Structure 1
């Protein structure tokens, strides 16, 4: 049967060629393989080759990674699975928060029992533990405030805790009643503290500038001011290295260029303030702040020095205003700073508020903290106070008080600046006392009064 399908005298290969030719002829007659179709097929083939080349080129382009490699822990390609995972995480966070709150309340009850048995120290530790577990629980904060007020006679710390409780629950009846009672007491204590600082300022002002001890104290305080100010921002230079750079302008081996430039920039800004702004009469302008910042950042990042930021920045848990509002907010800030109400404030209070308001606006990409502290010291120096030195070892406390101010209570930050002001005055007064030949490093107990050396853990 298969032999019958072949043409007589023709082999199998010839038969297949014959049929293939017949099919091609039929297709040509139907127009399938017309010249136009053949041309289109060639174009499509060339296009496919071109696209393949483009894809190979694209494969060589570096892909955009939205986060650093170390920040990407896991990638889930399944949308449903990632959504489920987020739900699980939220549920776990809720359970953990509930467990922490329950543990905090249990610690409060245990503290009451322990205090009733006559062990106030252990009760205080339990209450602090409860506040650490539930830092925004109004009942826990109120109980801790009551303990500090009754057992420790610390009205300032208690009032700060009542204020934190009311920030969470504004109509909390117990905290509200305590707050109304302690408000006047706290205002009186703050006023007395500022008067004490002013008295020390007056005592310092009668020391003649020709005093050799006073000149030595100024020089030592200048080095320490630069050292602690850049140290708060993370600079690792020691006091001796900072002094060496300022005196010789030479480099220190093993330290980065940025750390050198931060010291030189702050030195330039301080010299600019001392030579142009301290004795100038009139208002503080936006150009003054810009010129201070230009020198602060001039050695580190000259392109950003003296320029308001043009992008959004993020500072820990604080998100500053957007860049489109910077000019408006700075105008409002300077209008307040030069207003009669501001000028009637105590200089320490005004300087602390100016520091907080400027750093809250965060008008620059970098160097906001240093510029804010320099503005604070400009206000203080114009009022006859020495530049305040905020110790680098108090960095955590400094930022904690700024965070408390962001939450609505700026008074702890003002008190912190007042304490730093008094400590700096103590340094000068100690250094200019007779039979004192060495100015101690800030932080040594010899220049710290008993009141200043008291721990502020109770407030936190």
Structure 2
């Protein structure tokens, strides 16, 4: 009897436990997985931020492991796409207008130095205010005789406020003057190109100049991307393929990749391809060599994710192939081929970097495309000094805002400085290539050995 009672009690307890477990699973709210909780937290964190994401067909989340990439892109966007603070913007506008009025008063009193600082302060506070831009342009035009910069400011004012009457009148007045100045500058650069072309390619000084300029070109080009190698260290890597103590593998790879891409340009594309015959495969081939030692798996392939570049949001991955094909079509067009080579090269650079078709290496590939076009037209490859990095990116941003002319002028200035370097180095009695930038210690290796020319 006791055994039967014990068995009944045990059986009743088991049935109760099973029933309690079932009711608990049915009645309690379902717990979310950790990845679902993470998704929810992320969406809550970014709920007030607008992200212009690509169409759904351009990306897929097949598994939770890809969420990290999406979150990284969202975080990048959050750093560059912050919701506007209306109160702060209003306060800045008010302070900018106060600074503008003070600048105009100082201008009337002919206190131009103080007026300039006040104008610059107003621009920093309200960089898109058309009144500030227009008045600052008038100040530069009339007191500093800087018509180029003034016209740029008028154009910026109109890009933000197309109906601004004063800026429109000023821009119509300065535009012909600016176009004439640009044409004159290009004509002067062309004359220097012709002077350089008259020097025999077998000239020992020219050969030495080309060799030393090659080192400087690599040094400055990777420097624009943040490479910390000095000119002397860059030369050691290129000449000996030996590692530099204390420098990362990535920095070594950037130098070796650019070296490989330059050799591809010189030995293959420059001899076998004219600008009117470039194709998408040529651009991919350049990028493949640029990134071969840094990101070999991404080298020579278009990106598959959305990227964010400062305030610029490039086209979604689904559009990259089509837009690069359109760029190649433009490169081959009669309209493009009839442009001045410097304009043509600068526009090609800008169009490619605007599309930003690669995950990394876009700037280097764009500058190589630009230099390929220039070399095919008889110019020396342009060296953009690393100390001009801020200007370089500012002019690209201005182009994004609608005015490409400052960037074209910047490329023209760099082209002229590079030609000056060659002409100076090949003039009589010169045995050293002038340094474009940096600590003089970096340039000790540039002294040319006249007894052992390259």
Q: What interval of TM-score do these two structures reach, taking the shorter chain for normalisation? A: 0.7 to 0.9
Select which of 343, 357, 368 maps to 2:351: 357
Q: Does 1:279 align with 2:237?
A: no
Q: Which has the higher contact order (CA 8 A, sep 6+)?
A: 2
- CA–CA separation in structure 1 for the residues paired with 2:340 and 2:95: 44
Select which of 431, 439, 443 maps to 2:437: 443
- CA–CA separation in structure 1 for the residues paired with 2:216 and 2:244: 18
CA drift of 1:284 comes to: 0.7
Residues 1:238 and 1:340: Cα distance change in structure 2 (over 3 Å): same
Which structure: larger Rg?
1
CA drift of 1:94 comes to: 2.1
Select which of 366, 389, 412 maps to 1:418: 412
- CA–CA separation in structure 2 for the residues paired with 1:189 and 1:311: 42
Select which of 236, 255, 264 maps to 2:247: 255
Matches within 5 A, 1:69-148: 93-148=85-140
- CA–CA separation in structure 2 for the residues paired with 1:139 and 1:212: 56
CA drift of 1:211 comes to: 1.1
CA deviations on 1:163-182 (whole Å, 9 max, x unpaired) are: 00001110000000111111
CA drift of 1:327 comes to: 1.1
Structure 1, unmatched stretches of 5+, are 1-16, 73-89, 445-460
TM-score of the two chains, using structure 2 as the length reference: 0.80
Q: Does 1:222 align with 2:239?
A: no
CA deviations on 1:76-103 (whole Å, 9 max, x unpaired) are: xxxxxxxxxxxxxx99932222222111
- CA–CA separation in structure 2 for the residues paired with 1:369 and 1:117: 46
Query: Which residue does 2:234 correspond to in 1?
Result: 242
CA deviations on 1:138-188 (whole Å, 9 max, x unpaired) are: 000000000111111111100000000001110000000111111111111
Query: Which residue does 1:337 correspond to in 2?
Result: 331
- CA–CA separation in structure 2 for the residues paired with 1:199 and 1:267: 30
Q: Does 1:181 align with 2:181?
A: no
CA drift of 1:198 comes to: 0.6
- CA–CA separation in structure 2 for the residues paired with 1:192 and 1:92: 43
**What SS class does the counterpart of residue 278 from structure 1 fall into?**
helix
- CA–CA separation in structure 2 for the residues paired with 1:67 and 1:139: 43
- CA–CA separation in structure 1 for the residues paired with 2:185 and 2:130: 29
Query: Which residue does 1:198 correspond to in 2?
Result: 190
CA deviations on 1:81-135 (whole Å, 9 max, x unpaired) are: xxxxxxxxx9993222222211111112112222222211211221111111111
Query: Which residue does 1:213 correspond to in 2?
Result: 205
Residues 1:366 and 1:150: Cα distance change in structure 2 (over 3 Å): same
**What SS class does the counterpart of residue 279 from structure 1 fall into?**
helix
Residues 1:251 and 1:179: Cα distance change in structure 2 (over 3 Å): same
- Structure 1 window deviating more from structure 2 (294-303 vs 275-284): it is 275-284
- CA–CA separation in structure 1 for the residues paired with 2:219 and 2:323: 31
Select which of 382, 403, 415 maps to 1:388: 382
Select which of 395, 406, 409 maps to 2:400: 406
Structure 1 runs (4+) greater than 3 angstroms displaced: 37-51, 61-68
- CA–CA separation in structure 2 for the residues paired with 1:386 and 1:186: 26
- CA–CA separation in structure 2 for the residues paired with 1:121 and 1:175: 23
Residues 1:241 and 1:167: Cα distance change in structure 2 (over 3 Å): same
**What SS class does the counterpart of residue 313 from structure 2 fall into?**
coil
TM-score of the two chains, using structure 1 as the length reference: 0.79
CA RMSD of aligned residues (A): 3.2
